[in-house]
Amino acid sequence: MIKLKKKNLSCRSKIFVRFSEVDSLGIVWHGNYIKYFEDGREAFGKQFQFTYWDVFEKGYITPIVKTLCEYKKPLMYGDTAIIETTFVDMAAAKLIFEYKMYRECNDELIATGSTTQIFLDSNKQLMLTVPPFFEKWKKKNGLR
């Protein structure tokens, strides 16, 4: 039996560690990794025409309901990191992204994580079925 490999949509983007993101030791404060994940989602949205504004214009919002982050190595002031953001395709009406962050200069793994978002309609009611525009987007990108 031949097993077909599932297509993943991924985006790589750069993050430059600024002085305002580090503590007195020059190490990135742990909460900023969540902001870096958002930067990765923003880059993904631009690359695949699936920005927060695109979703909002269709009458939906996608709040985050779960975030995971595993810290492997510290990022320091002046570092440049690469964040790889991957969309996890599934049948449910939710968005799951996985992240891998690498130090650009040596490709060292810095952190991994994931976020889960749900769809709410314009009345802030939970969508239990996949919105039609989202299904169309997935089909356009070869996911369905």
Q: How many structural domains does the chain have?
A: 1
Q: For residue 42, is it within any domain?
A: yes
Cα(55)–Cα(137) distance, integer angstroms: 11
Q: For residue 102, is it within any domain?
A: yes
Q: For residue 139, is it within any domain?
A: no
Q: For residue 24, is it within any domain?
A: yes
* Domain containing residue 96: 11-133
Cα(10)–Cα(40) distance, integer angstroms: 10
Phi and psi at 58, nearest 5°, equal -85, -5
Number of C-beta neighbours around residue 22 at 10 A: 19
| pLDDT single digits (tens) 44-91 | 999 999 999 999 999 999 999 999 999 999 999 999 999 999 999 999
| CATH number where 44 lies | 3.10.129.10
- pLDDT score at 4: 47
CB of 124 within 8 A of CB of 65?
no
**Among 9-13, 97-101, 108-112, 139-143, where is mean pLDDT lowest?**
139-143
Q: For residue 101, is it within any domain?
A: yes
